[in-house]
Amino acid sequence: MSHDPNEDATIDARARDAVDTAVRVLLVEEPFFAHVLSGIPRRITRSVRTAAVGFHDPGEGVCKLMVNPRFILGLPEPQRVAVLKHEVLHLLLRHPFRDAGRDPRILGIAADLVVNALVPPWPLPANAVTIEHFAPLGLRPGESLDHYYRALERAATERPAFAEWLEGGEDPEQERGIGPGSHRPWPGEGPEGEPDSRRTAAAKLVDDAIEKAWEQVSEETRSALPGEVTRGIEELLTHRRAPRDWTRTLRRFAQSVRRAPLRNTIRRPSRRFGTYPGLRLRRTSRLAVVVDTSRSIEIPVLERFFSEVDAIWRAGAEVVIIECDAAVQSARPYDGRPPTHARGRGGTGYDPALRWIRQEELRRAFDGIIYLTDGFAPSPTVRPRCRHILWVLAPGGTEKHLRGEHVIRLRRLPHAAGS
């Protein structure tokens, strides 16, 4: 049978337009999914039978959305949107990175059972796998990938007919309705000895796309996402943004805002000329440290925080302590004595402390601001003249109202033995 490259090129162009149109529809109706897709390379290719997220080229550490042109053109537009949402859900739930030596056929079915339940209101293609395909196994909707995998694996062991069903056929996605996605391009399912660096690079690209999309959409859009998706994203962002050593990050911030004025000194000669007076480098900085004194900040958290503030002060920084809940309760220079109790214990508001700092800056500037809080307050609207602000979140705090800010998170204290 003759092969016409020109015809293939025309079909590929139509398929690209179809995918682009489906992405635009998704951008209007469910923008978060479209924003994630915008961070993932797309390729029209005949290397997959339907659509897939995974690797296209061996040895290439990039995750792509791959779409078969004839497959996508054979679907009406609502089903094209459903296919794209299906693939994005695999990424959001990190299915391509969860093989861990498991049977790829069973893993693919389990993953599709999870995501296809979340695709509506978009209509799934006729070959999409759903719970109804496995009625004899008694599977329930809304379970996790691990739950479905264990149930399907047990069925493959205990039911010879089911095991035979899994084994037969050259294209199970098409012939058995397991699609629309093919999961063979997922990491860990390629040639033996495939390097781990591919998985790491692909996972980072996906995580970057998810984080960027999360920052681009509104709170209303976020709240409309399925609960399991939101929980997964919040865990991802917490892991990515929490420093491995928050104390080091805090000290580095204090060091980064130091001023280093040169002063004359008669105690040492000039290194360059050997004459007096020489120059002395005196490192110093002035920091505003705001402590959220609302009820949710516990005393052990304050003790941990002030142990680091004390180290910064002893290293030569001038520190002004501002205690604030919904209003500024006190402001004083730090003298090595941390607060023994928190004044206020009411609600939380950022603007009163930031407004106090802005007024104080008319008299003398601050080089940096450190704000300890739990995050449960409206986003700040007052901006001090000092642009170097580090937000330190107490354990259990939230950064949803601190978008675009420099945030670190204190880790939870380990439970005492026997508690």
DSSP-assigned letters across all residues of 354-369: HHHHHHHHTTS--SEE
Over the chain, what is the mean pLDDT?
80
Q: How confident is the model at residue 413 (pLDDT cuts 50, 70, 90)?
A: low
Quote the pLDDT of residue 2: 53
Residues 319 and 205 in one domain: no
More confident residue, 59 or 251: 251
Residues 226 and 250 in one domain: no
Q: Is residue 378 part of a domain?
A: yes
Q: Is residue 219 part of a domain?
A: yes
Q: Is residue 74 part of a domain?
A: yes
Share of the chain above pLDDT 70, in %: 77
Q: How confident is the model at residue 172 (pLDDT cuts 50, 70, 90)?
A: very low
Q: How confident is the model at residue 6 (pLDDT cuts 50, 70, 90)?
A: confident
Give whichever of 30-34, 252-256, 298-302 has the largest mean pLDDT: 30-34
Residues 230 and 250 in one domain: no
Residue 174 has pLDDT above 90, yes or no: no
Q: How far apart are CA 399 and CA 354, in angstroms?
A: 17
Residue 261 has pLDDT above 90, yes or no: no
Instruction: Answer with the one of 214, 241, 268 that is the final residue of a domain.
Output: 241
Q: How far is CA 190 from the centre of its chain?
A: 27
Give whichever of 54-58, 181-185, 279-283 has the largest mean pLDDT: 54-58
Residues 272 and 315 in one domain: yes
Residues 223 and 207 in one domain: yes
Q: How confident is the model at residue 133 (pLDDT cuts 50, 70, 90)?
A: confident
Residues 47 and 183 in one domain: yes
On whether the CB atoms of residues 311 and 251 are closer than 8 A, the answer is yes
Share of the chain above pLDDT 90, in %: 32
Residue 360 has pLDDT above 70, yes or no: yes
Q: Which residues of 125-156 are buried (b: 16+ CB within 10 A; e: fewer)?
A: beebbebebbeeeebeeebebeebbebbeebb
Residues 221 and 85 in one domain: yes
The residue-averaged pLDDT of 95-103 equals 75
CATH code at position 292: 3.40.50
Residue 93 has pLDDT above 80, yes or no: yes
Residues 84 and 223 in one domain: yes
Quote the pLDDT of residue 345: 64
Quote the pLDDT of residue 403: 80
Q: Of all helices (H) and strands (E), which one includes residue 67? A: strand 64-67
Instruction: Answer with the one of 184, 210, 241 that is the final residue of a domain.
Output: 241
Residues 251 and 391 in one domain: yes
**What is the total count of domains within the chain?**
2
- Closest Cα to residue 179, out of 83, 98, 268? 83
End-to-end CA distance of the chain: 75
Q: Is residue 100 part of a domain?
A: yes
Q: Is residue 417 part of a domain?
A: no
Residues 63 and 33 in one domain: yes
More confident residue, 210 or 133: 210
Q: How confident is the model at residue 355 (pLDDT cuts 50, 70, 90)?
A: very high
Give whichever of 152-166, 226-240, 378-392 has the largest mean pLDDT: 378-392
Q: How confident is the model at residue 302 (pLDDT cuts 50, 70, 90)?
A: confident
The residue-averaged pLDDT of 67-80 equals 94
More confident residue, 177 or 57: 57
Q: Is residue 416 part of a domain?
A: no
Residue 88 has pLDDT above 90, yes or no: yes
Q: Is residue 131 part of a domain?
A: yes
Worst-scoring range by mean pLDDT, 4-18, 97-111, 392-406?
A: 97-111
Q: How confident is the model at residue 57 (pLDDT cuts 50, 70, 90)?
A: low
Please count the residues of the chain: 419
Alpha-helical segments (H) within 242-350 = 246-256, 299-314
* Residue-number span of the structural domain to which 352 is assigned: 246-409
Instruction: Answer with the one of 202, 224, 241 that is the final residue of a domain.
Output: 241
Quote the pLDDT of residue 162: 75
Residues 235 and 250 in one domain: no
Residues 204 and 324 in one domain: no
Q: Is residue 415 part of a domain?
A: no
